[in-house]
Amino acid sequence: MESLDAFFESWGLEPIWNNLPRFMSGTLLTIEITALSVALGLVLAVPLALARVSVNPGLRVPVYCYILYFRGTPLLVQLFLIYYGSGQFRDALESVGLWTFLREPYFCAILALTLNTAAYTAEILRGAIQAVPLGEIEAARACGMSRPLLYRRIILPKAARLALPAYSNEVVFLFQATSLVSIITLMDLTGVGRVIISRSFRTFEVWIFVGLIYLAITYLIAWIFSKVEYRLMGHLRASPDHKSGGPASSDAAIAVR
């Protein structure tokens, strides 16, 4: 019994308790970086996906290479390439006024995460656009819709619904991937954890606490997406008296990227 007491006494939660505001600001930075990259990435991904399904090879091939590169290399390398790599061209970047941005870890983090998630999202959208049933497209053409109208009214809304499960997975992954920005000195949730450990040496307790926060937000995001999906798929659900229901399990949403 004595040894067990000694074991429990060796735990210390004061570093966590005393640093709650820091953890809070770290969590907020993590959420901020995620939200900004997700929004910018989505804006970038739509034209990329359209270019990717284009019949014009001059559009399709460069976008294919971009997607292949950002999906085929580690995000950490992309982050290093932008943050440390830009230093190699400092003079040139200074002369065009870009250095003030690229020396900021915050800017580099957003840039790398945005480019990365845009590639993954574009690929998800490509799959969804190509999965739109041909009959619907033919019907729209038969109604005399022009190409832009066809995309706006038929293909993109349908593709958005088809892409949603995979996209929610992507948002969860991006949220988790933001922990890498702590390596380029940003004080996100992981960064705060590192600093507090370096002062308190409570490695185990702090990482468990940080992990629990990530876990909670991850399943919160998955839960929100499952609600959105439930709403958007309303027309495909059996009527209430025919039974069945409840949103899809949020657990099922997280597969490997």
Partner 1 sequence: MEGRHSGACPVAQQEVWALFDYQGYGWVFWEGVQVTVLVSLCAAVVAILMGLVGAWGKLARSRLANLLANAYTTIVRGVPELVLILLVYYGVTILLQRILSSLLGSEVLIDIDPFTAGVLTLGVIYGAFATEVFRGAFLAIPKGQIEAAHSFGMSRIQTLWRIMLPQVWRFALPGLGNVWLVLIKATALMSVIQLEELLRWSDIGARNTKLPFTFYLTASFIYLGITIVSMLLQHRAEAWANRGIRRA
Asked whether position 86 contacts partner 1 by CB under 8 A, the answer is yes
# of chain residues touching partner 1 (CB under 8 A): 48
Of the listed pieces 41-49, 56-64, 189-197, 237-245, which binds partner 1 according to CB under 8 A?
189-197
SS (H, E, C) 109-168: HHHHHHHHHHHHHHHHHHHHHHCCCHHHHHHHHHCCCCHHHHHHHHHHHHHHHHHHHHHH
Q: Which residue in the set 208, 224, 228, 232 belongs to the binding site for partner 1 (CB under 8 A)?
A: 208
Question: For residues 37 and 45, what is the distance between their CA atoms, to the nearest angstrom?
Answer: 11
Q: Which residue in the set 72, 97, 144, 148 belongs to the binding site for partner 1 (CB under 8 A)?
A: 72
Asked whether position 1 contacts partner 1 by CB under 8 A, the answer is no
Question: For residues 128 and 166, what is the distance between their CA atoms, to the nearest angstrom?
Answer: 10
Asked whether position 69 contacts partner 1 by CB under 8 A, the answer is yes
Asked whether position 183 contacts partner 1 by CB under 8 A, the answer is yes
Cα–Cα distance list, 176 to 48, 118, 132, 180, 214 (Å): 24, 16, 30, 8, 7
Tell me which residue has tokens 């270019």.
Answer: 51
Asked whether position 215 contacts partner 1 by CB under 8 A, the answer is yes
Q: Which residue in the set 54, 73, 95, 130 belongs to the binding site for partner 1 (CB under 8 A)?
A: 73
Of the listed pieces 21-29, 78-86, 153-161, 225-233, which binds partner 1 according to CB under 8 A?
78-86
Tell me which residue has tokens 């307790």.
Answer: 205
Q: Which residue in the set 48, 123, 210, 225 belongs to the binding site for partner 1 (CB under 8 A)?
A: 210
In three-state secondary structure terms, 198 is: helix
Q: Which amino acid is at 17?
A: W
Residues that bind partner 1 (CB under 8 A): 3-4, 6-7, 10, 68-69, 72-78, 80-81, 84-89, 176-180, 182-183, 190, 193-194, 197, 203-204, 207-208, 210-211, 214-215, 218-219, 251, 254-257
